[in-house]
Amino acid sequence: MIKAGDAAPDFDLPTTGGGRVSLAGQRGRPFVLYFYPKADTSGCTREACDFQEALGRLGQGALPVLGVSRDPMTAIEAFAAKFELTFPLASDAEGGVVEAYGVWVEKSMYGRTYMGIDRSTFLVDGGGRIAQAWRKVKVPGHAGIVLKAAADLAAGPGAGSAQ
């Protein structure tokens, strides 16, 4: 299981707007990588909108945020457009990245077990290492917690809980 201090697993994924995003392309600056179960569901919508709102308070580009699910790109594009999300959402349709980050897990609902994404967020430092990891995320207030940790990370060692 990936934890703080570990090297972030490599990735290269298609994103909204016809782009691509990779770990190598993010080097040199901290960023937020969050995994969500399914586009346009209530919890995932709230989480994306919370990150969007928080980014608006910080200023666009202040802290890159990337959301990843296993949804097909068409569903992700529709989700991003519907909620006017300005940060990239990526599709890991084949599941290699969710596996590498340990967020593809067995779940259970109504006595039925199935595989799905464990809502998780990773704060990655500019050197490509995991600065902080949150698993089994509860959406309310989460974006604010992540952005506070990112601010602490940017402030340097000893500045707060991102260590």
- Number of Cβ within 10 Å of residue 23's Cβ equals 18
DSSP tag of 16: G
The position carrying tokens 């699910």 is 69
**49 is annotated as an active-site residue:** no
b (16+ CB within 10 A) / e for 97-120: bbeebbbbeeeeeeeeeeebbbbb
- Select which of 23, 33, 39, 44 is catalytic: 44
Residues designated catalytic: 44
